[in-house]
Amino acid sequence: MIADPIALGLKKGWDVRDASKLDRDLHLEADVVIVGTGAGGGTAAEILSLAGLKVVMVETGALLSSSDFHMLEREAYPQMYQESGNRQTKDKGITILQGRTVGGSTTVNWTSSFRTPLRTLEYWRNNFGLADYTPEALSPYFALMERRLNVAPWAVPPNENNAILKRGAAKLGIPTGIVPRNVKGCWNLGYCGLGCPTNAKQSMLVTTIPGALERGATLITHCRAQRFTMSGDSVSGLVCEALDATGLRSTPYSVTISAKTYVAAGGSINTPALLLRSDIPNPHRRLGVRTFLHPVAISAAVMPNVVNGFSGAPQTVYSDHFLETAPFDGPIGYKLEVPPIYPLLYGSITQGFGDKHARLLDDMPNKEVMIALLRDGFNDRSEGGSVELRHDHSPQLDYPIDPYVWDGLRRSLLTMAEIQFAAGATSVMPIHESAWPYTSWEQARAQIAELPMELLLMRVVSAHVMGGCAMGSDEHTAVVDGKGRHHQVGNLFVFDGSVFPTSIGANPQLSIYGVVSRNANLLASAMTGKTFTPALL
Amino acid sequence: MSRLLSRRELIKTGIGGVAVLVLANCARSNKAAISPFADPSYPYNILSSADRAMIAAVGGAMLAGALPTEPAARAAALVEVVRGVDVAAAGLTPSPQGELQQLFGLLSFPLTRGFATGIWSSWSDAPPSDVVKFLENWRFSNVMLFKTAYQALHTIVMASWYGNNVSWAQIGYPGPPRIG
């Protein structure tokens, strides 16, 4: 029997409220209210609680923990993902995997933990006035969070799905690396994406959120932040809707919270939407724009040997070769990784239908799948998308795929096919409605060159939403400053991936942890008059 | 799921204009009386009985080659698919759920079904080759609305089937490991 730290904490008397059980309105007061409990909100909650501040965390999703995690897609996607794992951009061209549960995406991600690439920081310093964003200044905060979350390069041999990336790339002289992961005592099961059933993944759910609750923080679940109320040029309150137990629909009851400081940490779609609903000053129309996705292309191979891509740590080998050799002013660069191969996900992304589709699904244990994550936002041909509100005030991301990204998607399909054949694949198939399994690199090269790069033919997905409340020194081009403070509203902070002025060029969780731990420490110092160092934890 | 059938888009597609749209909107109240998918042990959240017959026909074509071939087993598997679609649709927030219901309404109401898909018989009588033809047309349609609708159907049907453990033996997936 695996001990469930959440069940134990609740027994000990953590202040966790489920808003779906309310039978009247609720009002709370705090020093700081944090909207969202993902990488940003969880990190901020622990740091601010440790500083002695009274913190309230607001979460739309449910509090689920290891005893609820059964490694079943059909349970996990509806329970823990935005739109059951099928959140889509406005034109439906990109499907977005994003968490919606206590711990946010950290509860369901694949544990890859990279520091922000040096070139990305350099670009921010040069283009957005973020002079403090030097590797030297941030390094203590990355180190702090790496210790807190037990981040280390994966020491166990990679599973075969990852090993194929390593072998194929090596044959072509393309360097690869081992992914650092935030796990402790990992069982190497392979189901990180469905919630870790053994509590090995050091997500916010089992680290900083319990840390904050131990120090007297309050967590309200099934509670959707609707808007900030303003008084002059400060936020005076947060108005939330209590949701029903499904988390889909509002109940008649509201939750209002008054605090000295307000932190938005709902991620790069929900945070800009919350601010858009709130009459927050937006004088230069920067709110919600420049939202980035690391658009992903997918290549599936059939191997002569058993791969079992559903088994073993899902993401342990990567290559930055096509980022490092790509100048920002040239064609878009991409990072190579692999995803886990789960039946629902694989069945629903694979093109076609009927017998052809069924035959593509046969022998799933012999399938190898590779992904390329495109580094968007570093070039004036790559402006990303923008968050809008629908008629019902729910958010929607409009991300038209531009020719610059289409070109990168095609080039990445070529790269992946070449690597898969080099590793011994008997066939390679891009995930694209007009593609079929190609049996040689020569055939693949010729066919991929001809594939129409068109909406809803080429499958594009994303698991990384970034930007929309960009930080920068100039209020004409940025929403918040380098400390995460809103340029026009002094007691409003944004502590999540929406502050990134470009995409990251790597899986973003550790970038969020590092930037937010810095900014939350600065906020704690400002609010308490004490000085905190990165040794705080 | 798909954003479908804003009034402007439907007119743009030239499949019959406002009158068709109005009829489609009536479709959800025009429930077919008889359906093999009416087991009271599973109360449907979203799908009307007409929707269920439609999903069964679409699912049967989409999953040809994946579903069991023995008739009783195939019928039972289709019930699982239809219920899975209902559960998935019920799990969406109001805006995408509303779009999906509009799609189901369009496909379930005979007149709009006929105009949009070319299938003029009822779903339960539709020749499988006609269903395949309509899906293939939508998949590669120049009309973005149909392309989007195809992808919505593909995603929800495939997710329903491959999320269900009854599909796993065929693809060689052993299921998750047992722990503790």
pLDDT at B122 over 90: yes
Q: Does B63 touch chain A (CB under 8 A)?
A: yes
pLDDT at A409 over 80: yes
Any idea where the domains of chain A sit in the sequence? 5-64+136-149+202-286+468-536, 160-187+296-375+402-454
Using alpha carbons, select from A219, A200, A222, A3 the residue that is nearest to residue A107: A200
Give burial (CB, 10 Å; 0-12/13-18/19+) of A150: middle
Out of B64, B163, B177, closest to residue A74 by CB? B163
Using alpha carbons, select from A218, A240, A212, A232 the residue that is nearest to residue A30: A218
Count of CB atoms situated within 10 Å of the CB of A403: 9
Write down the pTM of the prediction. Answer: 0.94
pLDDT at B12 over 80: no
**Element housing A180 (H / E):** strand A180-182
The CA–CA distances, whole Å, from A215 to A28, A55, B120 equal 17, 9, 66
**What pLDDT, on the 0 to 100 scale, is given for residue B13?**
46
pLDDT at B7 over 50: no
Give the helix, strand, coil percentages of chain A, each rounded to 5. 35, 25, 45
Q: Which of A68, A302, A353 to mutate to test the interface with B (most CBs of B within 10 A)?
A: A353
Do the beta carbons of residue B22 and residue B91 sit within 8 Å? no
Q: Would the CB atoms of A74 and B164 count as touching at under 8 Å?
A: yes
**What pLDDT, on the 0 to 100 scale, is given for residue B70?**
95
Out of B144, B148, B179, closest to residue A198 by CB? B179
In chain B the first and final C-alpha atoms are separated, in Å, by 37
What whole-number distance in Å separates Cα of residue A108 and Cα of residue A250? 25
Q: Would the CB atoms of B158 and A348 count as touching at under 8 Å?
A: yes
Q: What does the block give as tokens for A455?
A: 């909406």
**What pLDDT, on the 0 to 100 scale, is given for residue B28?**
46
pLDDT band at A534 (very low <50, low <70, confident <90, very high): low
Distance between A311 CA and the closest CA of chain B, angstroms? 9
**Element housing A33 (H / E):** strand A26-35
Give the helix, strand, coil percentages of chain B, each rounded to 5. 65, 0, 35
What whole-number distance in Å separates Cα of residue A55 and Cα of residue A50? 10
**What pLDDT, on the 0 to 100 scale, is given for residue A535?**
55
Using alpha carbons, select from A309, A143, A362 the residue that is nearest to residue B170: A362
What whole-number distance in Å separates Cα of residue A319 and Cα of residue A305? 23
Q: What does the block give as tokens for A181?
A: 């992961």
Distance between A512 CA and the closest CA of chain B, angstroms? 27
Distance between B72 CA and the closest CA of chain A, angstroms? 19
Using alpha carbons, select from A313, A420, A418 the residue that is nearest to residue A369: A420
pLDDT band at A110 (very low <50, low <70, confident <90, very high): very high
Give burial (CB, 10 Å; 0-12/13-18/19+) of A3: exposed
Q: List chain A residues with CB under 8 Å of B77.
A: none
**Element housing B25 (H / E):** helix B17-27
Average pLDDT over residues A351-377: 97
Better-predicted residue by pLDDT, A9 or A534: A9
Q: Would the CB atoms of B132 and A70 count as touching at under 8 Å?
A: no
**What pLDDT, on the 0 to 100 scale, is given for residue B38?**
77
What whole-number distance in Å separates Cα of residue A386 and Cα of residue A384? 7
pLDDT in tens, A326-356: 999 999 999 999 999 999 999 999 999 999 9
Average pLDDT over residues A501-530: 97
Q: Would the CB atoms of B3 and A92 count as touching at under 8 Å?
A: yes
Distance between B28 CA and the closest CA of chain A, angstroms? 21
Distance between B168 CA and the closest CA of chain A, angstroms? 8
pLDDT at A363 over 80: yes
Strand duo A26-35 + A250-264: pairing:
parallel
Q: List chain B residues with CB under 8 Å of A358.
A: 63-66, 170
pLDDT in tens, A425-467: 999 999 999 999 999 999 999 999 999 999 999 999 999 999 9
pLDDT band at B29 (very low <50, low <70, confident <90, very high): very low
Q: List chain A residues with CB under 8 Å of B180.
A: 1-2, 197-198
CATH of domain A160-187+296-375+402-454: 3.30.410
The CA–CA distances, whole Å, from B124 to B42, B84, B120, B138, B152 equal 21, 19, 11, 20, 21
Q: Does B116 touch chain A (CB under 8 A)?
A: no
Count of CB atoms situated within 10 Å of the CB of B2: 24
Q: Which of A79, A92, A198 to mutate to test the interface with B (most CBs of B within 10 A)?
A: A92
Out of B93, B173, B180, closest to residue A83 by CB? B93
Out of B147, B155, B176, closest to residue A348 by CB? B155
Out of A71, A311, A348, closest to residue B159 by CB? A348
Q: Would the CB atoms of B94 and A359 count as touching at under 8 Å?
A: no
Average pLDDT over residues A175-200: 98
Long-range pairs for B22-25 at CB < 8 Å and ≥24 separation? B23/B109, B23/B111, B23/B112, B24/B102, B24/B105, B24/B106, B24/B109, B24/B112, B25/B105
**What pLDDT, on the 0 to 100 scale, is given for residue A106?**
98
Residues found in chain B: 180
Q: What does the block give as tokens for B32?
A: 């077919």
pLDDT at B14 over 80: no
Do the beta carbons of residue A264 and residue A492 sit within 8 Å? yes
**What pLDDT, on the 0 to 100 scale, is given for residue B34?**
47
Q: Would the CB atoms of B93 and A362 count as touching at under 8 Å?
A: no
Q: Does B96 touch chain A (CB under 8 A)?
A: yes
- The rounded percent of chain A whose pLDDT value lies above 90 is 98
Average pLDDT over residues A370-392: 96
pLDDT band at B1 (very low <50, low <70, confident <90, very high): very low
Amino acid symbol at A72: L
**DSSP-based three-state secondary structure for A432:** strand
Amino acid symbol at A263: V
pLDDT in tens, A241-275: 999 999 999 999 999 999 999 999 999 999 999 99
The fold for domain A5-64+136-149+202-286+468-536 equals FAD/NAD(P)-binding domain (3.50.50)
Count of CB atoms situated within 10 Å of the CB of A363: 14
In chain A the first and final C-alpha atoms are separated, in Å, by 30
Average pLDDT over residues A356-365: 96
What whole-number distance in Å separates Cα of residue A305 and Cα of residue A266? 43
Q: Would the CB atoms of B170 and A348 count as touching at under 8 Å?
A: no
Do the beta carbons of residue A266 and residue A225 sit within 8 Å? yes
Ordered alpha helix ranges (H), B28-70: 49-62
Vertex A210 angle, CA A207 and A214, to 5°: 135
pLDDT in tens, B66-115: 999 999 999 999 999 999 999 999 999 999 999 999 999 999 999 999 99
**What pLDDT, on the 0 to 100 scale, is given for residue B10?**
42
Window from A3-7, A139-143, B37-41, B118-122 with minimum mean pLDDT: B37-41
Spell out the residues 6+ positions from residue A381 whose beta carbon is closer than 8 angstroms to its own: A402, A403, A404
Q: Does B159 touch chain A (CB under 8 A)?
A: yes
Q: List chain A residues with CB under 8 Å of B100.
A: none
Cα A359 to chain centroid, rounded? 33
Q: Does B164 touch chain A (CB under 8 A)?
A: yes
What whole-number distance in Å separates Cα of residue A302 and Cα of residue A300? 7
Size of interface A-B (CB pairs under 8 A): 139
pLDDT at B15 over 50: no
Average pLDDT, chain B: 85
**What pLDDT, on the 0 to 100 scale, is given for residue A533?**
67
Average pLDDT, chain A: 97
